């Protein structure tokens, strides 16, 4: 909190509980710390006196939007409520812990979570994005798991806006610089450019980890007399108040620069911390563990204590500092990275210290678990915090914020692309269609993302069975059996802007489809809900609708939400970002040997299109390219998604298909080009028959973004079996072409033939052109 004056800092130094009780009328800078009047009044009511400076620091940061979910909590409940027993059967740990845990079988469990680091990544792209990775990875370690991969869904402003290059270079280098140094393969993500994100880029980070069932650890401080230890990096002045200040307010040009509030990462320290923690887990040396993320020691002490069975007493002067001038309040709020807090039983203290010494990790014993039910924090022996930890960690304010469907929503939905001004001159001739395909594949959102992904290590660990640009990232968990997981993240802000309820469902449907396309069985969901200000009733409506839609869809698809994160106040002035619920789906393979890649490989295999195509161009990449956004989002048909998923999973398991690629943004045109460029293997494709069957023209067939579709390549020997399976399930399927390795072109017969070199040049040049 850069704005705190020296005077108030000194007030923190001397402000004991005793002093607070004796001086009830002292004015505290609660507004500067982001609390509202009613919230401050609540703190006073909870304590029965004014808070001390240190207590105020804790409440302000823990009751911030970022830590307390005060605006979204009432709606997020649906993720816990709309769950059947069947959906719970593989959930070992649900929402509320650092990350949810799902049973993989054979004694293995997997934990994954997606989080935002949006505001810090705009202020300081490199450090913001880097520490986003660091934070989510520590969440995974906190569960007792070894982190095994990361993914990064990104959304930046217009590709040609001068500030986009700053954010792009910084964020990508930060994700790479941090993630690569941890030895975690980056296996996928998303990259979307849209001017709506110009002042509010989205940098989300997902991490996945694996563990044996017996290694699952929870964040609680139990066992009277157990010791509380802080270990890892020293506590410094970086990121002080970051959680409450950055995540709770919108950027406003009149306020001073917030640069000092962004944390600075040290990936080497984190890598050592990972190995050190895994050794602690292996030796069963910790009773409870919690990472220090947003709200630092405030969060770790209050959460550990409130989840435990007693209380906790710690001496704050025992915290190892980088900067000895830090005040108690600053120490409590600091978001210095690469720190963990653990609860260790007295008999394990020596063994714990031996592990720390081996890895040369600094630690300090802060205090112990008590039986008082109170969280007591002392400063040189004097009590500066005396609170019920639940009131800090869990009983923060909850707002039922007013929400209202925007008045403009009807007009927006009525403004369809077909027949609009922007639709004038829709490509129709063979030549125009070819130019349209090339334009689409070179466009910022559909172009090759190699410029980004080549800056990430996808190999380290030796277990990466698939990575971007395949539909899902696939990681082997068990080297003996091939047991593994698939992960995909998806969101379409334009769809969700047109229709928040269905847009959120479409995000889930696509991630689900991507996982199934890879051959994995979808099992669990994590979501990162990126929205504007909840104090705007229209935004609040978008949020409420998106959560309702997503939770309904999870129920229908039978996969539970196991954790996630909400990022609000993503707006500049009064203009919010498109509502962007990024949905991650985790799937399971009994044997990753069966994973299905997206590229064609074998000459002569038949190409089939699964599903039917309707005229759904509203919100599409094509409409976006023509500068149009309006109309209805593509129809959601979750039953069909499920059927399609079953076909893709069965076909993979039974060896009926050699490649599969889902149809989503950019429609059939994008899928065909991507499948051919993946292994530089062309195809001959005939579309007339399927266009006639579906009653659409070729342009619509190529560019419509109807859901529930995929293309697969089938060996000749499997065609009968594959057709029979689709027929038995009454799922529409059509043979549209043949893989042609020698042709060197994507030949849309009767229309045009596009040499792969030409497609590649269009597809791969865009990011290099803009970012060097």
Partner 1 sequence: MTETPLIGSYPSGPAGAPLAGARIGVVTFPGTLDDRDAARAVRVSGATAVELWHADTELADVDAVIIPGGFSYGDYLRAGAISRFAPLMGKIVDAANSDAKLPVLGICNGFQILTEAHLLPGSMIKNDHLKFLCRDQVLRVENNTTAWTNAYAAGQDITVPLKNQDGQYIADEKTLDALEAEGLVTFRYMGGNPNGSRRDIAGISNAAGNVVGLMPHPEHAVETGYGPGHTGTDGLGFFASVLNTLLGGK
Annotated catalytic sites, by residue? 66, 117
How near is the Cβ of 282 to partner 1 at its closest, in Å? 14
In the list 158, 165, 173, 216, the residue contacting partner 1 (rule: CB under 8 A) is 173
Give dist(CA 217, CA 282) in Å, integer: 11
Query: Is residue 272 near partner 1 by the rule CB under 8 A?
Result: yes
How near is the Cβ of 756 to partner 1 at its closest, in Å? 16
How near is the Cβ of 674 to partner 1 at its closest, in Å? 16
How many chain residues bind partner 1 (CB under 8 A)? 48
Query: Is residue 464 near partner 1 by the rule CB under 8 A?
Result: yes
**According to the 3-state scheme, what is the secondary structure of 532-548?**
CCCCCHHHHHHHHHHHH
Q: Beta partners for 595?
A: none
In the list 364, 455, 723, 734, the residue contacting partner 1 (rule: CB under 8 A) is 455
- Is-contact 156 164, C-beta < 8 A? yes
Name residue, tokens 């990275």: 337
Measure the CA angle with vertex 222, ends 269 and 91; round to 5°.
Answer: 75
Token code pair at residue 229 = 């230890």
Give dist(CA 667, CA 737) in Å, integer: 17
Span 479-508, contacts to partner 1 by CB under 8 A: 479-480, 482
Query: Is residue 518 near partner 1 by the rule CB under 8 A?
Result: no
How near is the Cβ of 655 to partner 1 at its closest, in Å? 4
How near is the Cβ of 647 to partner 1 at its closest, in Å? 16
How near is the Cβ of 605 to partner 1 at its closest, in Å? 9
Span 382-401, contacts to partner 1 by CB under 8 A: none
In the list 13, 317, 679, 723, the residue contacting partner 1 (rule: CB under 8 A) is 679
Query: Is residue 449 near partner 1 by the rule CB under 8 A?
Result: no
Site string for partner 1, 683-722 (x = CB under 8 A): --------------------------------x-xx----
**Dihedral-angle region of residue 188 (phi above 0 means left; psi in -120 to 50 means alpha; beta otherwise):** left
Query: Is residue 181 near partner 1 by the rule CB under 8 A?
Result: yes
Cα radius of gyration rounded to whole Å, the chain: 27
How near is the Cβ of 236 to partner 1 at its closest, in Å? 17
Site string for partner 1, 621-660 (x = CB under 8 A): ----------------------------------xxxx--
Among the candidate windows 79-87, 411-419, 458-466, 748-756, which touches partner 1 by CB under 8 A? Answer: 458-466
Among the candidate windows 5-13, 48-56, 181-189, 294-302, which touches partner 1 by CB under 8 A? Answer: 181-189
DSSP codes, 597-649: -SS--STT-EEEEES------TT-HHHHHTT---S-PPPP-HHHHHHHHHHHH
Give dist(CA 482, CA 460) in Å, integer: 17
- Is-contact 310 370, C-beta < 8 A? yes
In the list 454, 575, 727, 749, the residue contacting partner 1 (rule: CB under 8 A) is 454
Give dist(CA 495, CA 530) in Å, integer: 14
Among the candidate windows 522-530, 585-593, 610-618, 635-643, which touches partner 1 by CB under 8 A? Answer: 585-593
Which helix (H) or strand (E) segment is 136 a member of?
A: helix 125-142
Name residue, tokens 């020596």: 350
Site string for partner 1, 588-607 (x = CB under 8 A): ---xxxxx-x----x-----
Which one, 182 or 685, has the nearer CB to partner 1?
182
Give dist(CA 614, CA 398) in Å, integer: 43
Among the candidate windows 265-273, 420-428, 553-561, 564-572, which touches partner 1 by CB under 8 A? Answer: 265-273
Query: Is residue 556 near partner 1 by the rule CB under 8 A?
Result: no
Give dist(CA 36, CA 30) in Å, integer: 8
Q: CA separation (Å) from 389 to 298, 304, 312?
A: 10, 9, 9
How near is the Cβ of 347 to partner 1 at its closest, in Å? 26
How near is the Cβ of 267 to partner 1 at its closest, in Å? 7
In the list 61, 300, 383, 465, the residue contacting partner 1 (rule: CB under 8 A) is 465
Query: Is residue 177 near partner 1 by the rule CB under 8 A?
Result: yes
Among the candidate windows 173-181, 212-220, 500-508, 726-734, which touches partner 1 by CB under 8 A? Answer: 173-181
b/e string for 3-22 if b means 16 or more Cβ within 10 A?
ebeeebbebbeebbbebbee
Give dist(CA 506, CA 671) in Å, integer: 18
Which one, 266 or 471, has the nearer CB to partner 1?
266
Token code pair at residue 152 = 């990064």
Give dist(CA 285, CA 496) in Å, integer: 46
In the list 24, 324, 462, 627, the residue contacting partner 1 (rule: CB under 8 A) is 462
In the list 66, 70, 339, 476, the residue contacting partner 1 (rule: CB under 8 A) is 476
Say if residue 559 is exposed, middle or buried (CB neighbours under 10 Å; 0-12, 13-18, 19+): buried
Query: Is residue 330 near partner 1 by the rule CB under 8 A?
Result: no
How near is the Cβ of 455 to partner 1 at its closest, in Å? 5
Give dist(CA 1, CA 4) in Å, integer: 6
Give dist(CA 581, CA 557) in Å, integer: 17
Among the candidate windows 57-65, 250-258, 260-268, 430-438, which touches partner 1 by CB under 8 A? Answer: 260-268
DSSP codes, 189-214: EEEEE-GGGSSS-EEEEEEEEEEEGG
* 561-567 β-sheet, strand order: 464-466, 473-476, 484-490, 580-589, 521-530, 561-567
β 339-344/227-232 pair status: antiparallel
Which one, 434 or 476, has the nearer CB to partner 1?
476
Quick one: which of 544, 538, 548, 549 has its CA closest to 577?
538
Span 119-138, contacts to partner 1 by CB under 8 A: none
Give dist(CA 710, CA 671) in Å, integer: 8
Say if residue 364 is exposed, middle or buried (CB neighbours under 10 Å; 0-12, 13-18, 19+): middle
In the list 182, 344, 528, 696, the residue contacting partner 1 (rule: CB under 8 A) is 182
Span 656-675, contacts to partner 1 by CB under 8 A: 656-658
How near is the Cβ of 275 to partner 1 at its closest, in Å? 8
Residues that bind partner 1 (CB under 8 A): 173, 176-177, 180-183, 266-269, 271-272, 359-360, 453-466, 476, 479-480, 482, 591-595, 597, 602, 655-658, 679, 715, 717-718
């Amino acid at each position: 909190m850069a704005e705190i004056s020296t005077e108030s800092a000194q007030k923190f130094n001397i402000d004991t509980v005793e002093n607070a009780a004796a001086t009830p009328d002292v004015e505290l800078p609660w507004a500067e710390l982001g609390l509202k009047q009613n919230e401050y009044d609540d703190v006073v009511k909870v304590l029965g006196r004014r808070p001390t400076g240190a207590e105020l620091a804790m409440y302000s940061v823990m009751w911030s939007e970022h830590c307390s979910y005060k605006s979204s909590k009432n709606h997020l409940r649906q993720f816990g409520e709309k769950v059947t027993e069947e959906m719970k059967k593989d959930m070992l740990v649900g929402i509320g812990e650092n990350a949810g845990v799902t049973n993989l079988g054979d004694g293995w469990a997997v934990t994954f979570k997606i989080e935002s680091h949006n505001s810090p990544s705009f202020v300081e792209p490199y450090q913001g994005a880097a520490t986003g990775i660091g934070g989510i990875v520590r969440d995974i370690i906190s569960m007792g798991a070894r982190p095994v991969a990361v993914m990064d869904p990104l959304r930046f402003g217009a590709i040609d806006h001068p500030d986009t290059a700053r954010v792009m270079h910084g964020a990508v280098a930060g994700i790479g610089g941090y993630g690569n140094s941890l030895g975690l393969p980056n296996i996928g993500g998303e990259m979307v450019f849209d001017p709506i994100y110009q002042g509010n880029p989205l940098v989300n980070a997902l991490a996945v980890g694996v563990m044996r069932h017996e290694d699952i650890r929870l964040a609680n401080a139990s066992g009277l007399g157990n010791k509380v230890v802080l270990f890892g990096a020293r506590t410094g002045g970086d990121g002080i108040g970051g959680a409450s200040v950055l995540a709770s307010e919108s950027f406003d040009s009149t306020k001073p620069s917030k640069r000092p509030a962004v944390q600075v990462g040290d990936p080497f320290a984190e890598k050592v911390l990972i190995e050190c923690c895994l050794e602690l887990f292996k030796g069963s040396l910790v009773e409870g563990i919690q990472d220090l993320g947003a709200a630092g020691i405030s969060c770790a002490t209050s959460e550990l204590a409130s989840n435990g069975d007693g209380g906790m007493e710690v001496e704050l002067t025992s915290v190892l500092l980088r900067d000895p001038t830090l005040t108690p309040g600053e120490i409590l709020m600091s978001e210095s990275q690469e720190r963990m807090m653990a609860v260790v039983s007295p008999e394990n203290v020596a063994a714990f210290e031996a592990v720390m010494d081996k890895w040369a990790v600094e630690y300090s014993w802060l205090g112990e678990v008590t039986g008082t039910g109170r969280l007591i924090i002392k400063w040189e022996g004097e009590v500066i915090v005396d609170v019920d930890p639940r009131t800090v960690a869990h009983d923060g304010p909850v707002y039922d914020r007013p929400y209202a469907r925007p008045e403009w929503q009807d007009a927006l939905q009525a403004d369809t692309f077909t027949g609009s001004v922007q639709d004038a001159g829709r490509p129709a001739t063979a030549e125009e269609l070819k130019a349209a395909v090339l334009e689409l594949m070179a466009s910022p959102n559909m172009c090759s993302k190699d410029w980004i992904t080549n800056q990430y290590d996808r190999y380290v660990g030796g277990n990466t069975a698939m990575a971007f640009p395949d539909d899902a990232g696939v990681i082997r968990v068990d080297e003996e059996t091939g047991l593994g997981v698939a992960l995909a993240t998806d969101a379409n802000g334009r769809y969700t802007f047109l229709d928040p309820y269905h847009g959120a469902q479409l995000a889930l449907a696509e991630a689900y489809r991507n996982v199934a396309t890879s051959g994995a069985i979808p099992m669990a969901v994590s979501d990162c809900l990126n929205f504007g200000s909840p104090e705007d009733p229209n935004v609040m409506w978008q949020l409420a609708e998106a959560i309702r839609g997503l939770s309904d869809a999870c129920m229908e698809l039978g996969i539970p939400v196991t954790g996630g994160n909400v990022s609000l106040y993503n707006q500049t002035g009064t203009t919010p970002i498109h509502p962007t619920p990024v949905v991650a789906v985790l799937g399971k393979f009994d044997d990753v040997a069966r994973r299905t890649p997206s590229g064609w490989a074998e000459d002569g295999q038949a190409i089939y299109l699964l599903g039917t195509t309707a005229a759904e161009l509203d919100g599409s990449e094509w409409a976006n390219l023509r500068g149009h956004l309006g109309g209805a989002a593509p129809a959601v048909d979750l039953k069909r998604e499920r059927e399609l998923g079953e076909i893709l999973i069965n076909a993979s398991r039974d060896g009926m298909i050699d490649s599969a690629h889902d149809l989503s943004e950019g429609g059939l045109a994008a899928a065909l080009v991507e499948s051919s460029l993946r292994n530089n293997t062309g195809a001959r494709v005939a579309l007339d028959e399927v266009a006639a069957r579906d009653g659409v023209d070729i342009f619509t067939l190529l560019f419509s973004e109807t859901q529930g579709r995929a293309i697969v390549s089938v060996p000749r020997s499997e065609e009968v079996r594959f057709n029979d399976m689709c027929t038995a399930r009454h799922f529409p399927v059509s043979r549209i072409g043949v893989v042609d390795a020698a042709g060197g072109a994507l030949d849309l017969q009767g229309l045009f033939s596009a040499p792969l070199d030409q497609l590649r040049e269009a597809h791969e040049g865009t990011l290099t052109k803009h970012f060097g």
